[in-house]
Structure 1
Amino acid sequence: MKILFADDCHIAALPVILYLEKCGYTVNHVENGQQAIDSYLQETPDLILMDVMMPIMDGIEATKTIRALSEDHWVPIVMMTGLNEQSDILKGFDAGADDYVIKPVNLRLLLARLNAMRRVVMMQESLFNILDNVFEGIITIDQKGLIKSYNRAAERIFGYAYHEVLGENIKCLMPKPYSEKHDAHLERYQKDRTAHIIGVGRKVQGLRKNGEVFPMRLSVTEIRRNHETLFIGLVSDISEEEIGLRKVEFLAMHDSLTGLPNRAYLNETMELILHSAASSDKKHALLFIDLDGFKPINDELGHDCGDQALRIIAQRLRSHLPADDFVARIGGDEFVVLCYDVQTAENALKIAGRLLEAIKGVMLLNEQPRQMSASIGITLIPQHGKTATELLTLADKAMYQAKKQAKGSLILAGLSV
C-alpha cells in the first residue's frame, strides 16, 4: 500500500516513516502541500497522511485541491494536527479529510487508523476492478453532460484514455446529429422528465477517437447522490453483432455461390414492381434465362468448374445491365432478370439479345476454353400478369418454347424470335 506523507518536520517524520515501512507500507515523503499535490498528480497513492501546518501551502488547502482533482476516485486523507489545534480538525473535515491523528503521533494508534482505511480502500479497489473488467463501457455524467467517470471497457470501445475525456462533454463520444441534439435532450429531460433513452435503452451510434462511427447499445440510469443528479450510461459495442446480422440477412436473401439475389429476394422485388405498376404507366420486363450447355461442363470438368462458370455468367449478366435492373439466380442454371421501364416489347427483346451475346462469350475453365448459350423467355409487366406467379410461370413456359425451337434463342410470350 502506497502512502503519500506530507510533513515539513524531518525529525517528527522520520520515526513515522520507519515504522510504516517496517509494517509493510511504501512511503513517499514530501515537505509541503504543493509537493503533495504534485506527487499526487504524478502517481496516485492509496492513502494520504497530511500535516496541517506546512510552508508554501498548508495541509487544509492541499486537501481541498486533491479532493477537487479526485471526484471520481476516493483516496483517504488522514490529517495530523496538534492537541491545541482542534479547530484545524473541523477545517480538515470541511476540506475533505476522512480522519485525523494528534501530534505527537502515537504510532500504534496511527497504524490502527491506517489499517481501517486500508480495508475501505480494498473494498473500493475491488469494486473498481469489477467495473474496469466488465465487458460493457460504464460512463457517468453530471447534469451538464460532463463526464465524471469512465471505465477501462469504455477506453477500449471509444479509444480515448480516461484522462482525455474526464470533465469533457459526453458529446465528444457522439457523431452528428446525436452530438448536436444531446444537450437539448438532457436539458429538456431535467425540465419535463421526458425520456428518450433514460430507463429505456436503445441502439444508437458512437464516435471513436479515430473518427470511426460505430453501432452501440446504450442504456442510461439516473441516480441522485448528495443532492446531485448523475446519469450512468451502460454501453455495448455491437459492431460485430451488426456485421453478423447483416451477413445472415444477406445469406437469407442472396445466392451463396454467385452473390446474386435469390428466389425469396426476387419474390419481394416482384411484389414491389407489381404494386408500383398498378399506379404507373411504366412497362417493365421479366427475362427467364436457362443456360444451354451447362451440364457437359459439370460432367466433364467437375463441379468446381461448373461453379466457376455460374459465377462468370452472373457477372456478365450484371455487367451488361443498368445498375438499377435486378438479376437473380433462382436455382441450378436458371436466372431471372427484371428490366425496369423498358416501355416496349422491342426494347425488351433488344436487352435479351444483348444478354444472349454476353453469355455466349468464351470462358476459360481449368485452362480450357468453353462456351455456353441460353434460352430466354420474356414477359411484360403488367401486361402478361398481375401476380409474380403468373409472370414467372408464363416466362418459364416461353423459355421452354425457345429451348425447343432452337437453343440460344429467345421468345416473348406470344411471339417467337
Structure 2
Amino acid sequence: MRPTSNEQALAMAALDAAPDGILIVDDTGTILKVNPATELLTGYCPEELTGQSVSMFLPQHMRSKHDHLVQSFFLHPVSRPMGMVRQLQLLRKDGQSVPIDIALGHCTMDDRPTAVVYVRDMTEMKRLQEDLHYQATHDGLTGLANRWMFMQHFEQAIQRARCSGQRMALLLLDLDDFKDVNDSHGHAAGDQVLIEMAHRLRSSLRTGDVIARLGGDEFTVLLPDVPSVDHVLQIAQKLQHSLSARCQIKMVEVSLSASIGIAAFPDDAQDSGTLMRFA
C-alpha cells in the first residue's frame, strides 16, 4: 500500500524539521535526498549532494573501504542506533573535519532498497566531554594535574621503569609558611602565590616531567628516566631556588621557601605507596 498524499506531506515535514542531518542513500551508495540540516552540517547545498556518492564525506584513502561497507549493509540490512561506532569524522565542503555519530535505518523507495542515514554533529558533545575530563584530572586553580591524575602517571612510570631498568624519582614539595600568606594577605593572594609557584615549576622542568598539585600548598613532581640520584638532587636544588625567589602579588612582595622530599625508584622503594611515604 502506497502512502497517501497526507502521509507523504507529513513525512516531508518531519524530514525538513529534523535537527540531525538525514540522507536517503540507495544500494550503490548514491545520495537520493537530504534534509536542510544536512546542508548546515556539510556545507553542501542539496543540489550538490544529490547523485553523489555518500563516500564524498570521507578522505580519499577511506572511500574504497566505505564502499564495501555500504555493499555489506545492503546484503544484510539491519538498523543501527547511534553510539555504536566511535571516532567518526565527516569531511565538510570547506575541508574541515566534524566529529559525528550516525544511525542507520532501511526502507524501500520506488521499489529500490534504500538506507536512511541519520547524522548528528558531535562537536559540542565532544567539547563538553573534553571539558569534563579536564576538570576531573586537573587542579582547577593552577591547571596542574590533580592527585588522581598524578597517581595514574605515577603507576605507569613505575611500570615503565621496572621494564626498562631506568631510574625515576619522586619529589614532594611543601611551601613553608604559606599559611602566613593567607592569614596576612587573604586567600586571594594565597591563590595567586600558588598559581605563580605552579608557573615556576613548569618553567624549571622538562616537558616529560609530571607536575601535580596534591592539595593546599603541597605539590609533587615525577621525574622519569633520571641518570643518577645526584642529578635528582641538582633538580631539587634548582626548584628550591626558583620557588624561594620573591613573589610580587599586587602591591605586596611575598617571600617563601620550599621543603622538598625525594624518593627514587628502585634505590629507595619499588612501589608507589612506599615511595610516597619515603619522600
Q: Is the 8 A contact 1:258 1:311 kept in 2?
A: yes
- The answer for the alignment partner of 2:27 in structure 1 is 143
Bigger Rg, structure 1 or 2? 1
Q: Distance in 2 between matches of 1:176 and 1:335?
A: 48
Post-superposition offset of 1:332: 0.3
- The answer for the alignment partner of 1:63 in structure 2 is none
Q: Distance in 1 between matches of 2:63 and 2:242?
A: 51
* Deviation per residue, 1:2-43 (Å, 9 max, x gap): xxxxxxxxxxxxxxxxxxxxxxxxxxxxxxxxxxxxxxxxxx
Match of 2:216 among 332, 339, 343: 332
Question: 2:167 matched to 1:283?
Answer: yes
Match of 1:224 among 108, 117, 121: 108
Q: Is the 8 A contact 1:326 1:339 kept in 2?
A: yes
Q: Please list, as runs of the form range in 1=range in 2, the aligned pairs for 1:122-141 lying within 5 A after superposition.
A: 123-141=7-25
- The answer for the alignment partner of 1:208 in structure 2 is 92
- The answer for the alignment partner of 2:272 in structure 1 is 388
Structure 2 unmatched ranges of 5 or more: none
Partner amino acid, structure 2, of 1:128: M
Q: Distance in 1 between matches of 2:184 and 2:58?
A: 58
Q: Please list, as runs of the form range in 1=range in 2, the aligned pairs for 1:10-409 lying within 5 A after superposition.
A: 120=5, 123-175=7-59, 178-190=62-74, 193=76, 199=80, 201-203=84-86, 204-395=88-279
Q: Is the 8 A contact 2:90 2:97 kept in 1?
A: yes
* Deviation per residue, 1:255-294 (Å, 9 max, x gap): 1111111111111111111222222210011000001132
3-state SS, counterpart of residue 163 of structure 2: coil
Q: Is the 8 A contact 1:175 1:205 kept in 2?
A: no
Name the Cα RMSD after superposition. 2.0
* CA shift in 2, pair 1:272/1:190, >3 Å: same
Q: Distance in 2 between matches of 1:293 and 1:160?
A: 63
Greater relative contact order structure (CA < 8 Å, 6+ sep) = 2
Post-superposition offset of 1:373: 1.3
State the TM-score, normalized to the length of structure 2.
0.90
Q: Distance in 2 between matches of 1:128 and 1:335?
A: 61
Q: Is the 8 A contact 2:147 2:212 kept in 1?
A: yes
Post-superposition offset of 1:163: 1.5
Post-superposition offset of 1:212: 1.9
Partner amino acid, structure 2, of 1:199: R
Q: Is the 8 A contact 2:161 2:225 kept in 1?
A: no
- The answer for the alignment partner of 1:404 in structure 2 is none
Q: Distance in 1 between matches of 2:11 and 2:79?
A: 24
State the TM-score, normalized to the length of structure 1.
0.62
* CA shift in 2, pair 1:229/1:236, >3 Å: same
Q: Is the 8 A contact 1:301 1:366 kept in 2?
A: no
* CA shift in 2, pair 1:348/1:176, >3 Å: farther
* Deviation per residue, 1:204-262 (Å, 9 max, x gap): 11122222212111111232344422111011111111111111111111111111111
3-state SS, counterpart of residue 341 of structure 1: strand
* CA shift in 2, pair 1:156/1:372, >3 Å: same
* CA shift in 2, pair 1:189/1:133, >3 Å: closer
Post-superposition offset of 1:161: 1.7
Partner amino acid, structure 1, of 2:214: I
Q: Is the 8 A contact 2:169 2:262 kept in 1?
A: yes
Q: Distance in 2 between matches of 1:180 and 1:371?
A: 65
Post-superposition offset of 1:371: 2.2
* CA shift in 2, pair 1:307/1:178, >3 Å: farther
